[in-house]
A = this chain, B = another copy of it.
């Protein structure tokens, strides 16, 4: 048996998420189906982050063990030949047998994209949350910074979650904005990006933080309110869960 570490990118728009479900197409399911063909037996794939339906990945990390003698580059090529273009293996490497993408991860970075303009580009609607009212990016950035450090993030967890601890360490939590190069008079869009790095994330945590930051950006709440929500540990006080389309698992650190 040889264990492989796979680095994957996917457009999550048309999938039920990373994890195999009773119905619908999952990224894990697509990989396991392709690997079964390749290895001639059932293969289990584990991932670093269980991205939800509609969430994308720039560099998700997964692992699988194969019986067949095969080199890492061939695994990547064979998978890409079998997978739909919405899922790509960007890199493949041999890994220690005990390698576990989630338990071994030291940290992850997520990115949340907001398209802030009157009209959303047809090339962005699958990959961003469209908000037409102007956002106060400076206030959002100030609010985002209040979440850095080791905290109990219960207020930003999906209701009904059941985890041992809701304490997580957030290394950086930043909001930036970019005005893309103009492609004609008519493009007056602005991309607002939230990027967060942490040792782990609760279910819906990044999307709930994004929804909370948008409350601040819209001027409905002051930046300091994000700190109050955090301290409250009460999901009822946080902003809405931002749409899945804007969320990207950007990288996993080992």
Contact = CB atoms under 8 A, between A and B. Distances in A.
A9 B58 contact: no
A120 interface: yes
Contacts of A123: 9, 11, 56, 127
B88 A184 contact: no
Interface of A: 7, 9-11, 56, 58-59, 76, 80, 85-91, 119-123, 125, 127, 183-187, 250-251
A120 B185 contact: no
8 contacts: A7-B185, A10-B122, A58-B187, A76-B119, A85-B125, A86-B125, A88-B119, A88-B121
Contact of A250 (B88, B120, B127, B183): B183
A122 B186 contact: no
B122 A183 contact: no
B184 A122 contact: no
Contacts of A186: 7, 9, 59, 90-91
B122 A85 contact: yes
A120 B88 contact: yes
A44 to B, nearest CB: 22
B86 A122 contact: yes
Contacts of A120: 85, 88
Contacts of A76: 119
A183 B123 CA distance: 19
Contacts of A89: 119
B85 A9 contact: no
A187 B56 CA distance: 15
Given A89-B119, A91-B186, 8 more contacts: A9-B186, A11-B123, A56-B123, A59-B187, A88-B119, A88-B122, A183-B251, A184-B251
